[in-house]
Structure 1
Amino acid sequence: MFLARLPMTMNGVLMTLYVVTGLGRGYGAAGLVGAGVTLGMALGAPLLGRSFDRYGLRPVVAVCGIGTTVFWFAAPHLPFEALAAVAVPAGMLSVPAGSLARQILAALVPDEELRAAYSLDTISVEATFMIGPAIGIAAITTLSPTFTLSALGALFGGTAFLIWLIDPPIRASAEPGASTTRPPLRSWLSGKLVATLLIAAGTLFVLVGTELATLAALRANGDIGMTGLVIAVMCTASMTGGVVHGAVKKSLPQGLLMLLLALLVIPVGLADHPWWLLMLVLIPTNLLCAPTLAATTETVSRIAPPQARGEAMGLQDASTRLGLALGSPVVGFAIDHSSPEWGFVAAGLGGLVIAAAGLLRRRSASAAREPAIAAAGGGGNG
């Protein structure tokens, strides 16, 4: 799954560079294609998850692997208009490596060790983001765009074939209810799960906003050359937090982790230069990045029934992509109309607003359940 995620971390930057340099279009046009792919992934994740639940791993991975490979082999030969038109369906056919990895872990790992497993999975994600974009940029700047995009397609297809060949379990046969009929969506898409998904969206809003504000601050202060080092330290801090989260017997809940993540990023803009000070003040909030993501997955896995876990994990993917899609323009607008310092404030406050909606949804669902339980108890006593 580490290898399957690598091309996913490259495709955004490679598509942007190809549209700008290869097709001679602007960054707005590149953003349009990238947004189409992201939208397709968000729409496709729950649908593919439902297909995993219904048809199993191999048929879905085979279709996705072939479709994604064809798209990336064809991409360097398509005009911009055609590329923009097929971006959404191409995104929908992407192998959902993230949700699939979490589903496999839920099937293979005992419940008491899931926190450690999901933490390691999140650490693996951080590692791919440290490696993938750098490899992609180096390839497309030294090799031809046609070769690079075709190689990306081959990597997508090769990793899909490996997953198909290994055919890991996506549901443990010993799980309660694993062989029963699939429950209706309304029975398990509870208020608590919706709240969890909203908090996940808020988390990604904070993360993408923080990254954007960091890049803007480094650029404004003439330290853009230190971007790689700063991002590497941010990723290392996140991985360290993931190790601690997975090692402890009991960690903080998802909601509290998210609140701390957002609150700690708000004052970062007060120390945005020199670059080494910015790097240091970014460490506390990034320590909570991997734990928050791992806690989200653990909560979704615990709430969703085994026979609908693929769709639930797909909804988690969709919610995180929604947070990503909202974070970039909102924080970018704040930076364009003020300064990079306010970008950190916008990232933290925006995440808090989304997470607050989730926490309020969870509270209202709990409040509605308590009178029902009390009424049921009173009826039994009578």
Structure 2
Amino acid sequence: MFLARLPMTMSGVLLTLYIVTGLGRGYGAAGLAGGGVTLGMALGAPLLGRCFDRYGLRPIVAVCGIGTTAFWVAAPHLPFEALAVVAVPAGMLSVPAGSLARQVLATLVPPEERRAAYSLDTISIEATFMIGPAAGIAAITAFSPTWTLTALGALFGVTAFLIWLVDPPIRETVTEAAERGARPPLRSWLTGQLVATLLIAGGTLFVLVGTELATLAVLRANGELGMTGVVIAVMCAASILGGIVHGAVKRSLPQGVLMLLLALLVVPVGLADRPWWLLMLVLIPTNLLCAPTLAATTETVSRIAPPQVRGEAMGLQDAFTRLGLAVGGPVVGFAIDHSSPEWGFAAAGLGGLVIAAAGLLHRRTPAPAPEPAMAAATRE
């Protein structure tokens, strides 16, 4: 799954650079195409998760791998208009490596050890983001955009084939037969608590993408853009350290508290925006909570969702996190454009708190009463 996530972390920056430099379009056009891919991933994740629950891993990964490879191999040969049109369906066919990894861990790891496993998975994500975008930029700089996007498509195909070949378990085999015949209805498991968990997950990604955007804007405004790589690397390292601690302790803070601290700690960052090393230091506390919050989200979803719909639940988690990413960038960018880069940190934190507050309101929603048939089965 680490290898499968690498091309995903490269794809956004490569698509942007190809549209801007290869097709001569602006960043707005690049954002439109990239946003289409992100929207497709958000729409497709729950549907693919349901397909995993029903048909298993191999057929879905095979279809997604072929579709994703075809899109990226064909992308450098398409005009911008066609590229923008096919971006959404291409995103829907992306192999959901993140939700698959979480399903596999939920199957292979006993519940009492899942905090450590999900923390390790989140640390793996941070590592891919430290490697992938930089490797993609180096490749497209050294080689032609056509060759780079074609190689990216081949990499998507190879990693999909590896997942298909290994065929990791995504459900407990001892209950698999019973689960296939007893899929609970949506309203029985999509409770207020689960919706709240998903909204908090979206708010977390809103804060993270907004923080990165505000950091970039502040460094650019201060004439210290060359230090961006160092600052981002320290932010990732802080997140990894937080993930290690979260996974090592026997008891940790719940998801809601972690997200609340994550958002509150980023609000005043703009007060210490220069020089770059001071900004880097004040960003460490909020980033220490990044990986723990994401790991706690996955742990909560895996605990709430029944095993027979785990794929769909993990897909919904993917959808909400991608929506948080898609909304956070424009909202925080608007705040920066109409005030100053320093206010971007406040917008990121406060916006995440608003989304989390909506989640807490949903948590108060009472759980639906079990259907008569399910209640009878439980008594038996």
TM-score by length of 1: 0.95
Q: Distance in 2 between matches of 1:365 and 1:358?
A: 13
Equivalent residue letter for 1:189: L
8 A contact 2:268–2:346 mirrored in 1: yes
What per-residue deviation string (whole Å, max 9, x for no partner) do you get for residues 159-212 of structure 1? Answer: 000000000000012359645421111111011000000000000000000000
Q: Secondary structure of the residue that 1:169 maps to in structure 2?
A: coil
Aligned to 2:254: 253
Aligned to 1:66: 66
Q: Distance in 2 between matches of 1:129 and 1:337?
A: 30
Are 2:212 and 1:211 aligned?
Answer: yes
Q: Secondary structure of the residue that 2:223 maps to in structure 1?
A: coil
8 A contact 1:5–1:125 mirrored in 2: yes
Q: Distance in 2 between matches of 1:201 and 1:34?
A: 19
Are 2:309 and 1:300 aligned?
Answer: no
Aligned to 1:379: none
Matches within 5 A, 1:118-157: 118-157=118-157
8 A contact 1:180–1:307 mirrored in 2: no
Q: Secondary structure of the residue that 1:228 maps to in structure 2?
A: helix
Q: Distance in 1 between matches of 2:175 and 2:119?
A: 22
Q: Distance in 2 between matches of 1:216 and 1:117?
A: 35
| Residues 287-296 or 183-192, more deviating | 183-192
Q: Secondary structure of the residue that 1:340 maps to in structure 2?
A: coil
8 A contact 1:107–1:170 mirrored in 2: yes
Any stretches of 5+ residues in structure 1 without a counterpart? 373-382
Cα distance, 1:113 vs. partner?
0.3
The total of aligned residue pairs comes to 369
Q: Distance in 1 between matches of 2:114 and 2:173?
A: 17
8 A contact 1:205–1:347 mirrored in 2: yes
| Residues 103-112 or 173-182, more deviating | 173-182
Equivalent residue letter for 1:147: W
Cα distance, 1:359 vs. partner?
1.0
Q: Distance in 2 between matches of 1:174 and 1:109?
A: 14
Q: Distance in 2 between matches of 1:219 and 1:260?
A: 27
Q: Secondary structure of the residue that 1:250 maps to in structure 2?
A: coil
Equivalent residue letter for 1:209: G
Q: Distance in 2 between matches of 1:175 and 1:241?
A: 35
Q: Distance in 1 between matches of 2:293 and 2:366?
A: 22
Aligned to 1:338: 339
Cα distance, 1:361 vs. partner?
1.4
Q: Distance in 2 between matches of 1:59 and 1:211?
A: 37
Q: Distance in 2 between matches of 1:175 and 1:196?
A: 26
Aligned to 2:324: 323
8 A contact 2:235–2:287 mirrored in 1: yes
Equivalent residue letter for 1:44: G
Aligned to 2:350: 349
Aligned to 1:86: 86
Query: How much is the aligned-residue C-alpha RMSD, in angstroms?
Result: 1.4
Cα distance, 1:142 vs. partner?
1.0
Aligned to 2:281: 280
Q: Distance in 1 between matches of 2:174 and 2:66?
A: 32
8 A contact 2:246–2:252 mirrored in 1: yes
Q: Secondary structure of the residue that 1:295 maps to in structure 2?
A: helix
8 A contact 1:172–1:178 mirrored in 2: no
For residues 248 and 149 of structure 1, do their structure 2 counterparts lie closer, same or farther at Cα, with a shift above 3 Å needed?
A: same
Matches within 5 A, 1:1-382: 1-174=1-174, 178=179, 180-365=181-366
Equivalent residue letter for 1:46: P
Q: Secondary structure of the residue that 1:339 maps to in structure 2?
A: coil
Q: Distance in 1 between matches of 2:54 and 2:349?
A: 39
Equivalent residue letter for 2:19: V
8 A contact 2:198–2:320 mirrored in 1: yes
What per-residue deviation string (whole Å, max 9, x for no partner) do you get for residues 246-299 of structure 1? Answer: 000000000000000000000000001000000000000000000000000000
Cα distance, 1:365 vs. partner?
3.2
Q: Distance in 1 between matches of 2:259 and 2:128?
A: 23
What per-residue deviation string (whole Å, max 9, x for no partner) do you get for residues 314-335 of structure 1? Answer: 0000000110111000000000
What per-residue deviation string (whole Å, max 9, x for no partner) do you get for residues 49-96 of structure 1? Answer: 000000000000000000000000000000001000100000000000
Aligned to 1:377: none
For residues 335 and 27 of structure 1, do their structure 2 counterparts lie closer, same or farther at Cα, with a shift above 3 Å needed?
A: same
Equivalent residue letter for 2:221: A
Any stretches of 5+ residues in structure 2 without a counterpart? 371-380
Cα distance, 1:225 vs. partner?
0.4
Equivalent residue letter for 1:172: E
Equivalent residue letter for 1:307: Q
What per-residue deviation string (whole Å, max 9, x for no partner) do you get for residues 1-50 of structure 1? Answer: 00000000000000000000000000000000000000000000000000
